[in-house]
Amino acid sequence: MNTAQTRNGIDLAQMTQTLETLDRDRDLTRFRFRARNRWITGGENRSTIRDFYGAGAEDQSRTEPFCYTNGEPPILLGHNEGANPVEYLLHALAGCVTTTTVLHATARGIHIDELSTELEGEIDLQGLLAMDPDVQAGYREIRIRMQISADCSDDELDDLIGFARDHSPVCSTICRPVPVTVERVKSAGSVAA
Amino acid sequence: MNTAQTRNGIDLAQMTQTLETLDRDRDLTRFRFRARNRWITGGENRSTIRDFYGAGAEDQSRTEPFCYTNGEPPILLGHNEGANPVEYLLHALAGCVTTTTVLHATARGIHIDELSTELEGEIDLQGLLAMDPDVQAGYREIRIRMQISADCSDDELDDLIGFARDHSPVCSTICRPVPVTVERVKSAGSVAA
């Protein structure tokens, strides 16, 4: 439902104010996101997500952490305690491309009626299991099929979707090589919440 | 709790059988994972995850789908409906590196007592918001701090962690450039569940 003050569920005055604030002081655009994870057993582990740094300060808006459980299906030696990590990655990608599409549609004055996606990617377990050094452990590619209806032309939709793909933070993290470092920390207290 | 039949919560007979089955027929190692996502409003959208293809067949083990909600904090124009997509990405990465560590520890005969991780990554919103074409939308790098205790030497732990980093499917998807394609599908029925 859109009123004069919102478009696609986004408060237009708030959006304008946020963009102007970030544009005036580019130091405010740097965000630092975090997750803490604790192994339970086997393929089951749980993350808590709450604090992050952004717009020049630690965020205080979340009184309780979000908790998400990774699991594995029986064929991958688990008990379906939750989706598995490579499935959560698809959820993150779907959400990011969707939100980026909605954000830039809003900035362009486009009203979206419906937006849904279906994602699929292939993984060859020979990589994870080190059965073949020539096989990469991760996804070879990920395909997103998007259904979207909005009050604009097909050409405008295709331009919007391509733009969202190129400016989605999760998509950008997957499409580019992003360094991941793992540091083992010694006994000085647990790092997990 | 480990018995003669399990190590790190993994059933050893099942693990051996799975590895032997995959080793005999390398076609069985190809998995195809999926997610379906539907936009709700603003920065809120929801994924359902259930079916996948693996080991030569469609998996039937899940009677109900997993449902996860992406949201955004107020500073990013949302209402904390859930963690946001770039935070879910950290959850996926934490879980994958953890499960890969546990799996290969189990294969090496190492018993893990505790394993927890803390992840952090920086994103400059100038990328998402297209404020500066030289700024990438995604994470610049992601740092994982891992605390682990197990019945092996520090050198064996460091070797295990490095091996897990190199063989984790989510880590591999982030570290390498993985193509993501977005195809707009026309009106022929919703693609989302």
Q: What is the CATH number of domain B84-177?
A: 3.30.300.20
Residue B5 forms beta bridges with which residues? none
Q: How far is A4 from chain B (nearest CA, A)?
A: 15
- Enter the pTM of the model: 0.95
- Model confidence at A4, pLDDT cuts 50, 70, 90, reads low
* ipTM, interface predicted TM-score of the complex: 0.95
Average confidence (pLDDT) over A18-47: 97
pLDDT value at residue A186: 84
Range list of β-strands (E), chain A: 6-7, 10-11, 30-41, 44-49, 52-54, 57-58, 66-70, 112-124, 142-150, 180-184
Residue extents of the structural domains in chain A: 84-177
Question: Which of A33, A70, A127 is opposite residue B95, by nearest beta carbon?
Answer: A70
Question: Which of A41, A73, A176 is opposite residue B61, by nearest beta carbon?
Answer: A73
Q: How far is A118 from chain B (nearest CA, A)?
A: 4
Q: Cβ of B34: how many Cβ atoms within 10 Å?
A: 17
Write out pLDDT tens, residues A48-105: 999 999 999 999 999 999 999 999 999 999 999 999 999 999 999 999 999 999 999 9
Write out pLDDT tens, residues A128-184: 999 999 999 999 999 999 999 999 999 999 999 999 999 999 999 999 999 999 999
- Model confidence at A193, pLDDT cuts 50, 70, 90, reads very low
CB contact under 8 A, B138 and A72: no
Beta A6-7 vs B180-184: how paired, if at all? unpaired
Give B185's contacts (C-beta < 8 A, 6+ positions apart): A145, A146, A147, B191
A172 phi, psi to nearest 5 deg = -65, -35
A131 → chain B, closest CA residue = B23
pLDDT value at residue B186: 84
CB contact under 8 A, A138 and B170: yes
Contact between B125 and A56 (Cβ < 8 Å) = no
pLDDT value at residue B190: 46
Q: How far is A92 from chain B (nearest CA, A)?
A: 4
Q: How far is A163 from chain B (nearest CA, A)?
A: 9
Question: Which of B33, B91, B124 is opposite residue A123, by nearest beta carbon?
Answer: B33
Q: Which ranges in chain B belong to alpha helices (H)?
A: 12-24, 85-108, 125-128, 154-167, 169-175
pLDDT value at residue A52: 98
pLDDT value at residue A74: 97
Contact between A129 and B22 (Cβ < 8 Å) = yes
With 0-12 / 13-18 / 19 or more C-beta atoms within 10 angstroms meaning exposed / middle / buried, residue A71 is buried
Chain B residues whose beta carbon lies within 8 Å of the beta carbon of residue A68: 68, 83, 88, 91
Residue B124 forms beta bridges with which residues? A30
B39 phi, psi to nearest 5 deg = -70, 135
Question: Which of B52, B129, B145 is opposite residue A185, by nearest beta carbon?
Answer: B145
Cα–Cα distance for residue pair A139/B110, rounded to 1 Å: 28
Give B140's contacts (C-beta < 8 A, 6+ positions apart): A178, B121, B122, B123, B124
Question: Digits of tens for pLDDT over chain B (193 positions)?
Answer: 555 599 999 999 999 999 999 999 999 999 999 999 999 999 999 999 999 999 999 999 999 999 999 999 999 999 999 999 999 999 999 999 999 999 999 999 999 999 999 999 999 999 999 999 999 999 999 999 999 999 999 999 999 999 999 999 999 999 999 999 999 998 654 444 4
Cα–Cα distance for residue pair A137/B19, rounded to 1 Å: 16
Q: How far is B4 from chain A (nearest CA, A)?
A: 15
Phi-psi domain of B107 (left: phi exceeds 0; alpha: psi -120 through 50; beta: other)? alpha
CB contact under 8 A, B94 and A174: no
CB contact under 8 A, B172 and A127: yes
Chain A residues whose beta carbon lies within 8 Å of the beta carbon of residue B158: 184
Cα–Cα distance for residue pair B90/B85, rounded to 1 Å: 9
